[in-house]
Each structure stands twice: as structure tokens, then as C-alpha cells.
Structure 1
């Protein structure tokens, strides 16, 4: 019941990270029926192209055994070794192509479903795989019922196909009683090819259904709860509280550096309490005034306080202060549209600070 309720709570589709982790762990959707279909297809290829030629190559050796069994001396161990070598080589020439075809089709069935991925954890010993409770759940669970249904379908379909093919070949089977025995192998091969090809066609339907079910079941098993998605988001993006704290610390350090730069300013343009912009103008450094600090409300008051302590002139101009605050950035020169009003203020300050010439008597 606990597993059922836990599965029902997983209503969200898996995220890309969840899918990627599952693939890296070797949890991939696999259709067992695809491997069965590959084996049947390989058998059909063998019967169509290889079995006839292979039997013809093997027949001389078999004929020599049947026609002249005394032709192979077995007096010594060397004679027995020679006999086994001859028979073994002929058997290998017959079996190796069959094994290669079966292996290639089997590998193709796996590789076409999923990309190869070596996961050592999948081959490590796991006691849950031999646990009677886990085995009972696998047999009588949803997956077990699906496998049972597929087995029933395979049994019924294969039995029906074999019965249909054998019934359609019933006349030829009776005729074989009166035909030359030499023609029997070819007739048996033809009937076998018909049976295998019919089974292969019937299995295609099962493979298509099983592939769709494997993908659906795999995605269903990877579903997540809302809490799991939130936890994954926190792990990927970081805890919002921690990130907010880090951003706050970064802003505090930036403000401290900015306030520390105010004593280098040439003047401060302020809107009495709301805005303050500290500018530095030095022809040798920049062609236009440079913004060394700016702030609003509390920060503006702090800039004014530091400027007054450093005896930096503070010019109150509400419209200019507001416009500068919205248009400028720290450590950048002011835009061209502010050159004239700022230049007038700087000229006024410089003319006010310049010493007056002495009167000539």
C-alpha cells in the first residue's frame, strides 16, 4: 500500500536531469521482445541463405562417416586427434557463420533501442535481486502481469501460426511419402522457412506494442513528486535563501567600495535627500566627468555625509540629480547630454575657488 500511494503521488513528468541520471545509471527502457524478434529474424536469414550451403559443405564428411566408417583409423591417439581436427574444422565452418549472424542481430536489437553505456553498478551483486519478497512483487506486480500477458500472446500467436502453416502444408507432407528421399530436406527447409517467416511477421506486432510499453513504463517509473522537483531545483540552482544572502553580501561590499571612492570625487550633485551622484573630473584621467558613486535615500545621505566630511562641494539640483541617477552607471563617464549642465557647475566651482587678482595701485 505504501508503494502504491508513493507511486500515485508522483504526478509530475521527469526532468531532464532525472532522465539523464537514469541513463547514466543504466536504467534504460528495454524491450525483451525485440531481442526475440532479432533471433527469429536471424534464424530466417540463416535458413534462407546459409543453411543450404552449409549443409552441402558438411555432407562430404557425413557421407564418409556413413559410407566408410572403417576409413578413419583409430589405432593411436594421433589418429583420434586427426579425426577430431577434421570433424571440428568442418563443424566450425558450419557453425561460425550461424553464431555470427545470431550475435549481430542480437547486438543490433540492443544498440538500436539504446546507445551503449558501460555501468559497473548494474553488474555488482545486489541482494534484492535474489530476495523472495522482491521476486514475488516482480512476478505478481504490474510488470509481472504485463509479462504474463505477453507470454500468453506469444503462445497463442505462435501456436496459431504453426497450425496454419502445417495445415496448409498437409498435402505436401502426404506427398513426401511417395517422393524421392533426396528431396525431403529441401521440402522440410521450405516448410521451416514458412513457419519462421510467419512467426516473424506475427512477432512484429508484439515488438511494436512492447517497445511502446517499455518507453511508457520507463517514463512512468521516473515520474517525480512536486517536492522532488523543488529539491532538484534547489540543488541545481542553489538554495534561494543562500543565494539571496550572497547577493546581499555582494551588494554590501559594492556599496562599501563605492562609499570609499567618494573622497576622490570632485563634486556631488544631490536632490536634497533622495538622490546623490558623486562625479570626478580630471582632464588627465578622462575626457568627461566619471561617476564614482551614486545612491538613493539612505545611500544618498551617506554619500553626502562622506562628501561633507571630505570637504567636497555638494550641489543641490533636483532635476539634474534625478536625471543623472537614472541615466548613469558607476565607473562610467556621464552621457553626452549631461556635458553642458555638469560643465557649467564645474566651471562655477572652479571660478569660485580661483584666487582673485590683486588690485593695481
Structure 2
């Protein structure tokens, strides 16, 4: 009894890799490996790259705009309309700067998301799922092992980013001490460069952590998709059919092929026999064939049926045991005879043609 129970437990254990069909079904349900942190981290890094490339030119243009607008307006002539016009110009300038950066962030985020999950559309996920807002479901999700793992992951991510930011801030603080010796005009540039370097380090840390998280998500998905041996057997039955049904199909296919083979005996020029154990039907058309072709062959009962069909259609029977065995063992149905049997088969065909009183080129 204990042995049987252990066998049942082993049969239900998920130890097998998921089949393509199971992966496709999981994909239709929206179960794919993805890391939202990777999308946001790459988008953040892309924004920093764009700012590094376009930043100096954009900042210079903005400075020129401010100097031109503020320098051309006297403080005595400032009115509500003047200030409103200046603010509108500044907002338009900010929009021209931010829109390309925002587009880069969106494109980078979409590209990373598509690379992770590939293009897919899951209509079921668009339907409202009230279980997601159920307090009981939320409590169970938080209290589950998966919830604890996700919380630990979030804590480790936050700790790693804070550690990188702290070390960068420490170096930034040391640079701040030296700012007193720098010229006042150079202070904004130094501060901007230091803050940008801090952002770059944080972005690199975020991308690295998100890549690790994506690897974990793939590992977790693979484990969740594993199948038991019984599930593999059930899927095989569903996709390929019942073994008895497959056997019946193969049997019918063999019967159909044998019936067609027997029908082709009527087209043969000669049937070479063993005399009773083997029978091989040959045909030769000089205009269409390079060599004689085997139309049918068989042993024992099948050989007897070939002989009977040949006699019914007046196809000559020639007893030649060595040649019959050689043809049966070396040539498949529908194939031409090999060159080493040309001479022996030619002699048989010549004999048949003489007996019929007809010659062929």
C-alpha cells in the first residue's frame, strides 16, 4: 500500500519541462515572464542618454531665451500681460524640450515590454476581475509565500538603489566642499554634472537589478509551467488521439495501400514467384521507365493473393526462386530494380515476350 501511494505521488510531481502547447495556453492567459521594473529602468536610462546628448544645446537655448526676454523688458513696463506672455514662451520652450524626451521614454519602454513578452493580445485581461479588489483575496496574496518573496525582492531593490545613491551622494558632498573655491558662474555646471553622474549610477543599478528580476521571473514561470508525467500522457492523448484509434487508422491505411497494390497487379508484365513463399509483380515501359519497376510484392498469404490476381488477369507467372527472393528483399514497391538484377530480369521479360509472341524495344 505504501509503495502504491509513493508511486501515485511521484506520478503527480511536476518534474517535466512544459510542452509547446502548454506554453501557448499560458501565453493566451497572459502568463508570460516580464519585469515592470526593467521597462521603467530602461526608459529612465534612455531619458538620461537623450539628456546627455541634447542637454547642453537645449540648456544653452533656454538661457538665451531667458536673457533675451528678461533683458528686453524693463521692470517698469511689466504688466500682467507681459508676464503672461513671458510665461507662455517659457512653457512652450519647456514643452519643446520635454516632448522629445517623453517620446524617447515611451518608445524605450514599449520596446522593452515587447521584447520581454513579444506582441500579444489577451482580451480576457481587459474584462473586470472583481477578485483583484477583494480584501480577502488581497490578504491571501500578501500572506502567501509568493507575496513574501515579492516583498523581499522589493526591499532588496530599494536597498540596492539606496546604497548606490548613498555612495554617490557621499562623493557629491565632497565636491560640494570644494565649491567654495570655484567661481560662482561655474557652480551650476559643477552641480549639474555631479547630479547627472548620480542619476547615471542609479540608472545603471536599476537596470542591473531589473535584469536580475527578469531572470527570476523567467525561472519562476518555467517552474510554474512544469508538468507531471500523467499530464504529458493526457496531452499526448488529446493531441494525437487514443492509442487504439491511432492503431485503427494505421491498420486502415495498410489495408488501403495493400488494396491499391493488389489492383496494380493487373498492370504487371510478369509475376516472379518462389513459387509459393514470395511473389513480385514487375512492369516495364521502355518509353516511361529506365528499368523495370516493382508494382507489388508479398510473402506467404500476400504472395498467394498476388498469384491469384495475376491468374485472374492473365499475367504470366514465372518461377525463379533466387530472383524472387532478391527482388522481394532489395526493392520496395514503386521502385526500379537495381542494375545488378538487370540481366536476370531481362531474361525473364524476354521469355515472357517470346511466349506471348510480341516484342518490345
Q: What is the aligned partner in structure 2 of residue 99 from structure 1? A: 102
**Structure 2 unmatched runs, 5+:** 1-8
The match for 1:256 among 230, 242, 259 is: 259
The match for 2:148 among 145, 148, 158 is: 145
Q: What is the aligned partner in structure 1 of residue 5 from structure 2? A: none
Larger CA Rg, structure 1 vs 2 = 1
Distance 1:54 1:95, change over 3 A: farther
Where 1:28 maps in the other structure, the secondary structure is coil
**Structure 1 unmatched runs, 5+:** 355-361
Where 2:297 maps in the other structure, the secondary structure is strand
TM-score (normalizing by structure 2): 0.71
TM-score (normalizing by structure 1): 0.71
**Does 1:56 pair with 2:67?**
no
Q: What is the aligned partner in structure 2 of residue 305 from structure 1? A: 308
Q: What is the aligned partner in structure 2 of residue 117 from structure 1? A: 119
For residues 253-292 of structure 1, what are the structure 2 equivalents within 5 Å?
Answer: 253-280=256-283, 291-292=294-295
Q: What is the aligned partner in structure 2 of residue 71 from structure 1? A: 78
Distance 1:188 1:122, change over 3 A: farther
For residues 334-349 of structure 1, what are the structure 2 equivalents within 5 Å?
Answer: 334-342=337-345, 344=347
Q: Is the CA contact 1:55–1:94 (under 8 Å) kept in the aligned structure 2?
A: no
For residues 1-361 of structure 1, what are the structure 2 equivalents within 5 Å?
Answer: 9-19=13-23, 22=26, 27-42=31-46, 44-45=48-49, 48=52, 50=55, 52-53=59-60, 56=63, 59-60=66-67, 68=75, 71-74=78-81, 85-111=88-114, 113-114=115-116, 116-121=118-123, 123-127=125-129, 128-132=131-135, 134-170=137-173, 185-186=188-189, 188-234=191-237, 240-280=243-283, 291-310=294-313, 312-331=315-334, 334-342=337-345, 344=347
Distance 1:198 1:282, change over 3 A: closer
Measure the CA separation in 2 of the matches of 1:108 and 1:23. 19
> How well do the aligned residues superpose, as a CA RMSD in angstroms?
4.5
State the 1:311 CA deviation.
Answer: 5.5
Measure the CA separation in 1 of the matches of 2:101 and 2:323. 90
Indicate the larger mover: 290-299 or 236-245.
236-245
Measure the CA separation in 1 of the matches of 2:172 and 2:288. 102
Number of matched residues? 344
